[in-house]
Structure 1
Amino acid sequence: MTKLTIFYDGTCPLCVKEMMALTKRDKSAQIKTVDIHNDEFINYPHIDPNQANLILHALDEQDGLLLGLDVTHRAWQLVGMGWLYAPLRWPLIKPMADKLYLLFAKNRYRISYLLTGKARCESGACRR
């Protein structure tokens, strides 16, 4: 049963890498990943593609919307590694972590290039 559907940027090498790592650890298929640039995304008309391109979006099992680091924390929690991101959700850290996440999201192609040597995935090169 899908407990979380994540909408991610499939042209971002780091984003694709994280989705691959998540699905590899998701032994009970609780997480579904949907590339916002893929044809499958049309099945989710209530998710704004422009907003989903600015900040990570997900729907939980009750169709509740999660954004940004709340998505990341919940996803890793489902695969038993939520403790890695839990400190970023602590009340004193959360506001700053969320601001840093938005800065990362805005600059994800530049950061991807610095970390992977590739700014964007072209012709399905980063596809799973």
Structure 2
Amino acid sequence: MKLTIYFDGKCPLCLQEMRALQRKNAENLLYFVDINRLDFQELYPQINVEKAKAILHGEDDSGNILLGLDVTYRAWSLVGEKWRVAPLRWPLVAKAADKAYLLFARNRYTISRWLTGQERLDCRQCTELNSRE
């Protein structure tokens, strides 16, 4: 099963995670789409770009939409590193993890500035992610 990840390429931390996933994407099970593409809505009408800016979106090859940490869990599982994120979906942890993720998503640019020194990136830096297709 493949997964398309619709991510915010302007977010330094988001891009960092997508690049980490891409390095592990040896079987090309993941496809990365920056929601800031000028033609995004035209190419991906099934994804509301404003909602995708609020929460990470993913889509499996059956057309099922995944959100937030469910995308993260599926992506890392597909590249053989489910252990990295498995606790995030444990029943006693999932609800708190989802709330923490939403807090992160709302504040990702500020958190990125604190952790990387950069608040926002130029989306052109994302173009190489799918180069292994």
TM-score by length of 2: 0.90
User: In the alignment, which residue of structure 2 is the partner of 1:52?
Assistant: 52
Decide whether the 8 Å contact of 1:34 with 1:40 is kept in 2. Answer: no
Give the match's secondary structure for 1:92: helix
2:23, 2:39 → 1: CA distance? 21
Decide whether the 8 Å contact of 1:13 with 1:116 is kept in 2. Answer: yes
1:113, 1:13 → 2: CA distance? 8
Stretches of structure 2 lacking an aligned partner (at least 5 in a row): 129-133
Give the match's secondary structure for 2:91: coil
User: In the alignment, which residue of structure 1 is the partner of 2:73?
Assistant: 73
User: In the TM superposition, what are the counterparts of 1:22-61 in structure 2 within 5 Å?
Assistant: 22-39=21-38, 41=40, 42-61=42-61
Deviation beyond 4 Å, 4+ runs, structure 1: none
User: Percentage identity across aligned positions?
Assistant: 51
User: In the TM superposition, what are the counterparts of 1:1-128 in structure 2 within 5 Å?
Assistant: 3-39=2-38, 41=40, 42-122=42-122, 124=124, 126-127=125-126, 128=128
2:123, 2:107 → 1: CA distance? 21
1:46–1:123: structure 2 CA closer, same or farther, 3 Å change rule?
closer
2:82, 2:39 → 1: CA distance? 28
Number of residues paired by the alignment? 126
1:113, 1:53 → 2: CA distance? 18
User: In the alignment, which residue of structure 1 is the partner of 2:131?
Assistant: none
Give the match's secondary structure for 1:6: strand
What is the CA distance between 1:58 and its match in structure 2?
0.3
**In the alignment, residue 11 of structure 2 is paired with which amino acid?**
C
What is the CA distance between 1:105 and its match in structure 2?
0.3
Decide whether the 8 Å contact of 2:57 with 2:71 is kept in 1. Answer: yes
What is the CA distance between 1:123 and its match in structure 2?
6.3
1:43–1:118: structure 2 CA closer, same or farther, 3 Å change rule?
same
Decide whether the 8 Å contact of 2:9 with 2:123 is kept in 1. Answer: no
RMSD: 1.3
**In the alignment, residue 58 of structure 1 is paired with which amino acid?**
G
1:122, 1:64 → 2: CA distance? 30
